[in-house]
Amino acid sequence: MDYVISPPQQPVVPINGATKAWPVRRIYCVGRNYAAHAREMGRDPDREPPFFFLKPADAIVPNNTPVPYPPRTSNLHHEIELVVAIGRSGRDVSVEDAPGLIFGFAVGNDLTRRDLQLQAREQGRPWDTGKGFDHSAPITAISPIEQTGLIQRGRIWLTVNGEQRQEADIADLIWDVPEVISELSTLFELMPGDLIYTGTPAGVGPVVAGDLIEGGVDGLDTLVTRIG
């Protein structure tokens, strides 16, 4: 096929222990999937279940790559998250069958222009400008599930310039990984190449140019991001 313009580059994520890369199709994100974070955002997790939003696939930033401080914000926030890579298609998948769709796991940062997100929230507008901006989805290499097993517990943490900001356990997820996949598959047909950022624990906060963000989940790579 000839195109009238150069076709966009396929966003990719490396895979631990493999030379072939992971082509990103969609980036799904879960909002308010840890009770303590829902409360710090002024919401009652007992009354409102988690929900979904998306980022564009080309928002991906590889590990150890600087992120430019984004425009139109003065309140850029970090959100460390466990990321699921979907390797098999499925719709209306049961919780029991959900693990069969998983290719592997990674660590991601759901970078957020908090001022724009909260403004949109108050006005009942979409979250795209707060959440789906350029370079808003740093991610480590993917570790295949054969190496990690199904991740249901383990420490999730984030530091800024070496100082602890976020710390929790994956077991604290309101919807665990199979439940996230099952729920999401009732709304969209999941396809190979999809990534799911599963939500962030409490302790979100601002970063500024020059900050070094490090974060991880037990058993996965450490995500290292400098804000440029």
Separation of alpha carbons 178 and 28, rounded Å? 15
Among 77, 110, 139, 141, contact with Mn ion (rule: CB under 5 A): 110
Separation of alpha carbons 121 and 176, rounded Å? 25
| CB neighbour burial string for 145-180, b if at least 16 within 10 angstroms, e if fewer | beebeebeeeebbbbbeeeebbebbbebbbbbbbbb
**Nearest CB to Mn ion, comparing residues 185 and 200:** 200
Smallest distance from Mn ion to CB 30, Å:
7
Smallest distance from Mn ion to CB 139, Å:
13
**Nearest CB to Mn ion, comparing residues 49 and 210:** 49
Residue nearest Mn ion (C-beta atom): 110
Q: For residue 9, count other CB atoms closer than 10 A to its CB.
A: 7
Nearest 5°: the CA angle 193, 109, 118 is 110
Does 200 participate in binding Mn ion (rule CB under 5 A)?
yes
Smallest distance from Mn ion to CB 62, Å:
19
Per-residue binding string, Mn ion, 63-82, x by CB under 5 A, is ----------------x---
* Residues of this chain that bind Mn ion (CB under 5 A): 79, 110, 200
